[in-house]
Structure 1
Amino acid sequence: MTTDVIVIGAGTMGSMALWHAARRGLAAVGIEQFAPGHDRGSGHGESRMTRTAYFEGPEYVPLIQAALPLWRELEAEAGAELLTMTGGLMIGPPAGELVSGALRSARAHGLACEVLGPAEAAARFPQHRLAADEVALWEEGAGVLRPERAIRAAAGRAVALGAELVTGVRVTAIEADAGGVAVRAGGTVYRARRAIVCAGPWLGRLLPDLGLPLTVERQVMAWFPAADPSAFAPDRFPVFVHDRAGRPAAYGLPALDGATAKVAIHHGGRLADPDAVDRAVTEADTAPAAAFVAQTMPGLTPAVARSAVCLYTNTPDLHFLVGAAGPPNVTVVSACSGHGFKFAPVMGEVAVDLAVDGRTRHDVAGFSPARFAASGRVSPG
């Protein structure tokens, strides 16, 4: 057996795992049912957000801080612009989950941030209209990523460094024992010492015996025309999340096309089968984002210019799923619950560390699939 590791899925996490495996000089094979940068899963939509004052928990901050230089390394290797720092705004009630959580992470890790009241926020960022009981938490360490370009860059670098990438072939089975892993795809059996499974919304279907408690959620992204596109350019319009009491948060990113800003609702989508997703976007799908734009973003026209569908793969607690799930030579990196793209290069490193060394210098213990075993929701394998 000469193959060290097979990476299943070459999307957000898989492309980065394959890149790190190749950087380490491992004999690596990636298998992707579509092609890197496809629009069938979670790694598309022209832009993704990165932010450091992480409201989801201070434990994420060191991972983001490790990911940011890796994005720059990938840019340098691939000769492609992938990350533009814009700063970020977390908007909402001071005691709400978003603002208080971001501030807690900022204080825990000594991050530069500033709390702006409605009047000061309106003066500095007139693209937003805040309610009287809202504030805006400004942080410097936030920006916008180009997802399709990044995935293709990582996959391309992996191949350039010696990895093999098989595309247009679907994995149908993973069989593991003490002697290694056999992966069945397209009538071929691929064998390796270890496997890293980064199958995103297909993860539960690919490893059904594990009983992973995952749900797949259909999400709609929309782009709205700007009256003055320069006001929504990356150098003037920070990425943002807006906490709306009792409703799913809204988020937005700057105009990368010189005309439209992206605004969407975070969660609140309907359950979906990844192989039978309704990708036709209706007015009802975009109405919540359009209403948010009309109420809070005076510089945007609340008429959708274009839209797209993507998928979230969610765990019950909305935290990641990273680690051995079943056999110790099968490592799962997936189920990022709609907030994982920014972590991709460091999670690729973590995946290879865990698969090859059985440990990693990054603290990912809280993301172990074993946390669901206590409730009987994960088979121990």
Structure 2
Amino acid sequence: MSQHSYDVIVAGVGAMGSASCWHLAQRGLKVLGLERFDLGHAMGSSHGLTRIIRLAYFEGSHYVPIVKRAHELWAQTGEQAGMKLLHVTGSLDLAPKGGGPVESSLQSCLDHGLTHEVLEGSEVTRRFPAFQLPEGHIGLWQPDGGFVASEKAIYAHVGLAQSHGAEIRTNEPMLDWTPTAQGGVIVRTERGTYSAGRLVITSGGWIADAVPTLKERVSTVKQAIGWFTTRRPELFREGAFPVFILSADEGTFYGFPLYEHPGFKLGGPHFGREPIDPHDQDRTPSENQIRLIRECLARYIPDAAGEPLTVKGCIYTVSPDEDFIIDTVPGVPQAVFASACSGHGFKFASAIGEILADLSTSGQSPFDLKPFSLSRLPA
């Protein structure tokens, strides 16, 4: 096998890996990106046309500085690539009053000075008549939220990285890697052996293959998403309808305005995730997952409760506390990784790519990464 040398190798060129390639390449580094499937494939967690970006963050105020930076970078990257990646629609968190999610999102807005409104259920329905909310539900409106065009985002990052000299190899997964005595790494694939000074591991559901210490710390689950026939598409068009997170008795669901598909997209529910081995090639959602989504539509968004047009499954890599893990591989400071984004990571990808580039080049980040350290989780 031939051996080629790079400054940095990125293993996994999905949302975060493609962003890492771009942020590293624009710094003048020689970058190799290795992707196990085609670019923009549907085997991981970056497909499906759209991903929500929310600045009001019920998962914790500590996420807000990073997602604000991601918001800036999505706009900048779109301009640089000549693509519209960031669509600002406003975002709604919908939940029972006193139930927790709206109050936590509100706290994140107060902590970081985000523009927001707390809306009674009747006001939510007045503004967005597609919703039929249960008694006692309220909403948190944040006007800067929206969605990112997910596959386009990967293509944009890869195209920009290539324009700065990065080499991207698809259908070539990393088989294994080893640190060297000189402080670098050797990476092996079926096509060759590569050396580099640094390694960035962003392989999503397959992360435990590359970072074995994660095998007992993270799990992989299948989430269902679907696009459904609408009776009144005018209610769901971009500009008339926001992105949203809905917490209800049936679980937590998320949805989008119509975008590049005639159907209304809804994903969830949170508790409907099902364990999956990422090496299993079948991503078909179960009948139970689709049933739960359709029951949510029928009850809360009836004008979008038509027949399914497209259904897909995607893989989430989940940590026990559902917070991210961004760290160096234990004992190997030249290898950094990001994973276990637990189903809420795509929106951060532009900023996490920048963070991983920072960690690879300087060992530091301007953000507080302590909440995302591996050491917080029991071995």
1:257 aligns with 2:240: no
- Aligned AA (1:304): P
**Matching residue of 2:288:** 284
Task: Name whichever of 58-67 and 210-219 sits farther off.
Answer: 210-219
Structure 2 residue 47 is matched with structure 1 residue 41 = no
Aligned residue identity for 1:288:
L
Distance in structure 2 (CA, Å) of the matches to 1:65 and 1:212: 32
Tell me the alpha carbon deviations over residues 18-57 of structure 1, each in whole angstroms, 9 at most, x when there is no partner: 0000111111111111122111101001111001010000
Q: Report the CA distance between 1:362 and its aligned residue.
A: 1.7
Give the distance between the partners of 1:311 and 1:66, measured in 2 at CA: 25
Contact 2:246/2:252 (<8 A) preserved = yes
User: 1:4 aligns to what SS in structure 2?
Assistant: strand
Cα distance per residue 1:181-240 (max 9 Å; x no partner): 001111411100010000100001222255451100011101111212121011011000
The answer to whether the 8 Å contact 2:230/2:306 transfers is: no
Q: How far did residue 365 of structure 1 move? A: 1.9
Query: 2:15 touches 2:46 (CA, 8 Å); kept in 1?
Result: yes
Amino acid at match of 2:165: G
- Paired position in structure 2 for 1:168: 171
Q: Does the aligned pair in 2 maintain the 1:253–1:262 contact within 8 Å? A: yes
More displaced 10-residue stretch of structure 1: 3-12 or 117-126: 117-126
What amino acid sits opposite 2:329 in the alignment?
A
Seen in structure 2, the aligned counterparts of structure 1 residues 178 and 362 have a Cα distance that, compared at 3 Å, is farther
Q: Return closer, same or farther for 1:356/1:125 CA change in 2, 3 Å cut-off.
A: same
- Kindly indicate whether residue 89 of structure 2 is the aligned counterpart of residue 86 of structure 1: yes
For 1:233 and 1:178, how far apart are their aligned partners in 2? Answer: 57
Name the residue aligned to 1:123.
126
Distance 2:278 2:307 in 1: 28
> Unaligned regions of 5+ residues in structure 2, if any?
none
CA contact (8 A) 2:172 2:191 kept: no
Contact residue 230 and residue 258 of structure 1 kept, 8 A: no
Q: In the alignment, which residue of structure 2 is the partner of 1:330? A: 335
Give the SS at the match of 1:350.
Answer: helix
Matched AA of 1:156: G
The unaligned stretches of length 5 or more in structure 1 are none
2:230 corresponds to 1:222: no
Q: Secondary structure in 2 aligned to 1:196?
A: strand
Contact 2:93 2:105 in 1 (8 A): yes
Contact 1:129 1:296 in 2 (8 A): yes
Report the CA distance shift for 1:223/1:211 in structure 2 as closer, same or farther (over 3 A).
closer
Q: What does residue 239 of structure 1 align with?
A: 243
Say which SS state the counterpart of residue 53 (structure 1) adopts. Answer: coil
Pairing 1:371–2:367 present: no
The AA in structure 1 aligned to 2:290 is T
Conserved? CA contact 1:210–1:325, under 8 Å: no
Is structure 2 residue 311 aligned with structure 1 residue 311? no
Q: What code does the residue aligned with 1:114 have?
A: E
Given that residues 201 and 210 in structure 2 are in contact (C-alpha distance below 8 angstroms), is that contact kept between their aligned partners in structure 1? Answer: no
CA contact (8 A) 2:205 2:278 kept: yes
Instruction: State the match for 1:192 in structure 2.
Output: 196
The answer for the alignment partner of 2:217 in structure 1 is: 213
CA contact (8 A) 1:181 1:193 kept: yes
TM-score, normalization by structure 2: 0.95
Q: What is the number of residues matched between the two proteins?
A: 373
**Does structure 1 conserve the Cα–Cα contact (< 8 Å) formed by 2:11 and 2:173?**
no
Q: 1:81 to 1:339 in 2, by over 3 A?
A: same
RMSD: 1.5
Superposed CA deviations along residues 235-262 of structure 1, whole A, max 9, x for unmatched, are 01100001114x4301111111363110
How many angstroms does 1:178 deviate by?
Answer: 3.9
Task: Kindly provide the amino acid, as one letter, of the partner of residue 64 in structure 1.
Answer: V
Task: Calculate the TM-score normalised by the size of structure 1.
Answer: 0.95
What does the per-residue CA deviation read over 1:145-184, in whole Å, with 9 as the maximum and x for residues that have no partner?
1111110110111011111111111211010134110011
User: Are positions 1:248 and 2:251 aligned together?
Assistant: yes
Structure 2 residue corresponding to 1:273, chosen from 277, 289, 304: 277
Amino acid at match of 1:296: Y
Separation in 1 of the partners of 2:220 and 2:5? 35
8 Å Cα contact 1:63-1:346 kept in structure 2:
yes
| Closer, same or farther: CA 237–203 of 1 in aligned 2, 3 Å | same
Per the alignment, residue 358 of structure 1 pairs with 363
Secondary structure of 1:345's aligned partner: helix
Displacement of 1:356: 1.4
In 2: Cα distance, 1:65 partner to 1:118 partner:
27
SS class of match (1:295): helix
| CA deviations over 1:68-87 (Å, ceiling 9, x no partner) | 11111111111111111000
User: In the superposition, relative to structure 1, how do residues 198 and 209 fare at CA in structure 2: closer, same or farther (>3 Å)?
Assistant: same
